[in-house]
A and B are shown apart, each in its own frame.
Chain A
Amino acid sequence: MSNLFTWITEKFRKNTIIPIFLIVFLVCSFFIDKFFSLGNFVNILGQNAEKGILAAGMTFVILNGYFDLSVGTLMGLTSCLTVGLTPVIGLIPSILLALCLGAAVGLINGLLVTKLKINAFIVTLAGMTIFRGITYMYTQQTVRGSSKAFYELSRGSFLGLPNPVWICLAFILLGQAVLYFTRHGRNTYAAGGNMSSAQNAGINVDRTVILNFVICSFCAAVAGVMYASKFNSASPTLGWPDAHMLAIAAVVLGGTKLSGGYGNMFYTLGGLCTLGMINNAMNLLKLSSYYNTLVMGIILIIVLYMDIVLREQSVPSKRANIPGAPKKLQKE
């Protein structure tokens, strides 16, 4: 029994997002009318499924020590292409095309970062404007969807949960499996934690980085396709201006180190659900719109602070407070 207890506290200490999530959940349940209901939870999940996929991809890149600012506009581009090309080449081919495009973009990002050694921030920032440009060259207006079946896909549900939620969960689980069970996953942690040691240990760091960018962009493409299905249309403004920041925020809020090497997919899920809950709560609270950003901003900071407090309690007392982050500042 005490074993179980220590196990639980141990887990809680490491995953600060769990207690944070629970606190937010309990507060919302007690104080907000209509929050605690199955329908509402399904709502929250459904509203965040696409963001979840975006964040799942971002987790890989962040674990690797980078971030990808181009996912938002890439998502817009793939979304527009999927919808726009469906009447021309058919639904399945256009989805495949969008997904391939996502992967190809990731490949290019990765190659630029590893082979040409251009700063990832610059590469993906450039990507952000480039994809936006291409999207608008392709269409300047919202494109209407033409496939009923495709639309119905995202409206359907299975065991009470909307299909997009299942897809999102599948991605998260799959992502966690890749992180935990494959060499690529472990190499990602190693490269993110200490790039030169990873290199010296014979890990093909470049390949790891490239693959992670591919995963991230691919996920963005998937999210784009899913939005296309959800909206039964695609707008060139999708993902602009801050989809990438929201994804990064979910990942970092979950507890994954922004500098890489520490974190996992469940943290991301926790961060995502926490953010989703807060958003939902604000809708239910009927706050005047001015308060939205205010409350969100304050909550972000409080959550971050709680994270630090919980983390500090969790470090074993002996020799723990030596400020010795590997190479960056202690940003966690």
Chain B
Amino acid sequence: GCASSTDSSTPAPSSSADQPASDASSEAPADGEKEVVRIGMSANNIGIDDYQTKCDELLREYASTLEGVELTVLDAAGDVNTQISQIQDFIQQDMDAIIVWATDSVSVIPGLQQAQEAGVPIMCTNNPIDPSGEEYLTAFVGPDHYQEAVMCAEMLADMFPDGANVVQLTGTPGYDVSTWRQDGFEASIPENITILETQNADWNREKAQQQMEKLILKYGDQIDALYAADDNIAIGAYNALKAANMDIPIIACAFIGNEEGVKCMEDGIIDACVLQSPFPEAPAVMDTAVKIAKGEEVEFLTRYDLYPVTSENVRQVITDNGFEVWK
């Protein structure tokens, strides 16, 4: 039994993804002062997965191409307390703007508030902030994780019009992304699709493999499909399925368009997923940050586009949108 009453499942206002980020590649106009714009970023957990690492890489790369911008990236290693400390230290250093990839959508708010009170504009990326904290934010740039899960549910429904039994492997419990991807999926599957069981795989391949082994042992052929919270989990679970000679569709919620992932898709290991590429993120985030650092007006909400993909169209979608298959 869970007693929590957080039922608003889409924290950020769910306006449609209306601003493709790539066209925001404007040069910094204020040439007047030769001032360097100093921006601090507190990342969630770099190095923990490909996506965050790639984002970090792209962000730094992009920042180094910008004239007169100095970007400092610190990593909160998944801990809100560390993150708030880092925000405080940025304030202490008189940063011109702060970017936060929130480790927690609610608990980080006091940090945002402190920045605002100190007069340092602060924006969030990727991980949305609880609506109660939006008043302290200058901007938000990022994907909609809940929406991703909804799209997955739709794809699953298309695959099994007559209903199916699925098992679900989630990320690390308690983390926002994990929750949204679970909630979005559960809320959107049609009635004729039943979730046999949900287990956590902690974004860890070995754990996913073990959990899947157990689920196979328990349900065997009853399982018609697997819904995995990300491609890591999907790959881990696939190992277990292969060992048991089971060939069922695997739907991974987020797919980040790296080489391994694309290969997995093309090999039919992952059957369907939603593409959330890191490529749009860097310019969108940095440009917004530079603008708010200079005190310019910005759009409050920037969403990137999400693309449902299958084995057949994966490479197509990636190239069509101007992304790379990276690594």
Contact = CB atoms under 8 A, between A and B. Distances in A.
- Whether A and B are associated in the same complex: the answer reads yes
| Interface bin, chain B | 35 or more
A7 interface: no
Nearest to B131: A144
A142 B89 contact: no
A18 to B, nearest CB: 25
Contact of A231 (B86, B106, B172, B173): B106
Given A151-B110, A283-B74, A284-B93, A236 B6 contact: no
B74 A286 contact: yes
Contacts of A137: 1-2
A141 B4 contact: yes
A143 interface: yes
Contacts of A140: 2, 4, 173-174, 179
Contacts of B104: 142, 231, 233, 235, 237
B106 A289 contact: no
A47 B75 contact: no
Interface in A285-303: 286, 288-290, 292
Given A233-B109, A237-B104, A283-B89, 4 more contacts: A34-B93, A232-B106, A279-B82, A284-B93
Given A235-B80, A237-B104, A39 B72 contact: no
A232 B132 CA distance: 11
B85 interface: yes
Given A43-B88, A283-B74, A136 B173 contact: yes
Interface residues of A, number: 39
Contact of A139 (B2, B88, B109, B130): B2
A47 B88 contact: yes
Interface string B121-143: 00000000010100000000000
Given A43-B88, A155-B110, A144 B132 contact: yes
B130 A144 contact: yes
A229 to B, nearest CB: 9
A172 interface: no
A60 interface: no
Contacts of A84: 3-4
Contact of B72 (A40, A227, A286, A290): A286
A292 B86 CA distance: 13
Contacts of A284: 89, 92-93
Contacts of A34: 92-93
The interface centre, meaning the residue of B43, B73, B92 with most chain A CB atoms within 10 A of its CB, is B92
A162 to B, nearest CB: 11
A235 B89 contact: no
B106 A136 contact: no
A46 interface: yes
Contacts of A186: none
A50 to B, nearest CB: 8
Contacts of A230: 84, 110
Contacts of A43: 85, 88-89, 92
A31 interface: no
Nearest to B9: A141
15 contacts: A39-B92, A43-B85, A43-B92, A47-B84, A136-B2, A137-B1, A139-B3, A140-B173, A140-B174, A143-B6, A151-B110, A230-B110, A232-B107, A288-B73, A289-B56
B176 interface: yes
Interface of B: 1-4, 6, 43, 46-47, 56, 72-75, 77-78, 80-82, 84-86, 88-89, 92-93, 104-110, 130, 132, 172-176, 179
A224 to B, nearest CB: 12
Contacts of B179: 140-141
Contact of B2 (A138, A232, A290): A138
Nearest to A293: B77
Contacts of B2: 136-140
Given A137-B2, A139-B3, A233 B173 contact: no
A289 B74 contact: yes
Nearest to B6: A141
Nearest to B180: A141
Nearest to B76: A289
The interface centre, meaning the residue of B6, B73, B81 with most chain A CB atoms within 10 A of its CB, is B81
A289 B81 CA distance: 16
A236 B174 contact: yes
A210 interface: no
Nearest to A76: B174
B201 to A, nearest CB: 15
A142 B110 contact: no
A290 B47 contact: yes
Contacts of A176: none
Given A234-B107, A283-B74, A47 B85 contact: yes
Given A137-B1, A140-B173, A235-B174, A289 B85 contact: no
Contacts of A163: none
A40 B93 CA distance: 9
Contacts of B80: 231, 235, 238
A155 B93 CA distance: 20
Interface string A225-260: 001001111111110000000000000000000000
A235 B93 contact: no
A194 interface: no
B85 A235 contact: no
A280 B6 contact: no
Contacts of B176: 141-142
Nearest to B70: A286
A232 B109 contact: yes
